Amino acid sequence: MDIISNVTANLDQLTLSSLSFTDAFTFLPPLAIFIGAILVYAVFVFNFYNFMSKKEIFKFEMTQAGSHLRKGFDVFSYILKHIVIFPVIVSFCFLVLVVFFSFLSKNQSVETILLIAMTLVATIRITSYFNEALSKELAKMIPIALLGVFLVDMGYFSLESSLATLAAVPTFVRTIVYYIGFVVGIEILLRCISLIPFGKKHNKS
């Protein structure tokens, strides 16, 4: 009842003469900054998890009417993308998740954060071959959780601790290379399996 009484009393005192542009310019800039920051973050997260959870990152397009040499080039180009470009994509997704985890995890070691981040990357890529909806849910879980914690309790984060964690990441470069190689190997294996025409019957002429 006290809350209702206070709200009613404040509304009674609110008149057009009590409003001013000076007060508006005091209160509105922080609101605009928060809206802009959350909007940018939401757009980035949306594109990030949709891209990361997509099964067909590279489309296999073979020239049907081309020569055997042209078809061979198409196959080689497709394989090269998975060997050269895909590791870069994995590295990017991994580093983004490491940043997210470094802000969310207060007591985790750098080794544990790296392990969990790459485990999540691998799981997202594996599930994308079976159910992209599930893969998307996994990919957006941590970024959305980070935003939720930020909105509820901004004091939860320690910028100094997070930056210290990120600064220690390069010292584990050998571990990261092993992780990336393993995930790339899984991706190539799943890609090869997905190209096998299971259950297709060949019609005899």
Which residue in 126, 124, 137 sits closest to 187, CA to CA?
126
Residues 6+ apart with CB under 8 A from 110: 165, 168, 169, 171, 172
Residue 166 is classified by DSSP as: H
Using alpha carbons only, give the angle 117, 122, 128 rounded to the nearest 5 degrees: 125
Does pLDDT of 21 surpass 80? Answer: no
Residue 84 is classified by DSSP as: I
Residue 53 is classified by DSSP as: T
Out of 73-77, 117-121, 196-200, the most confident range is 117-121
Query: What pLDDT does residue 69 have?
Result: 60
Q: Is the CB of residue 142 less than 8 Å from the CB of residue 104? A: yes
- Give me the count of residues in the chain: 205
* Both structure tokens of 104: 């969310």
The mean pLDDT of 156-171, rounded to a whole number, is: 90
- Matching residue, tokens 């080689």: 76
Out of 76-85, 123-132, 148-157, the most confident range is 123-132
Q: How far, in Å, CA of 68 to CA of 161, rounded?
A: 57
Domain ranges of the chain: 20-195
What's the pLDDT band for 20 if we cut at 50, 70, 90?
low
Least confident span in 99-108, 136-145, 158-167, 195-204: 195-204
165-177 pLDDT, tens digit per residue, is 999 999 999 999 9
Q: Is the CB of residue 129 less than 8 Å from the CB of residue 190? A: yes
Q: How far, in Å, CA of 88 to CA of 82, rounded?
A: 10
Residue 173 dihedral angles phi and psi, to the nearest 5°: -60, -35
What's the pLDDT band for 201 if we cut at 50, 70, 90?
very low
- Matching residue, tokens 């050269």: 84
Per-chain mean pLDDT for the chain: 81
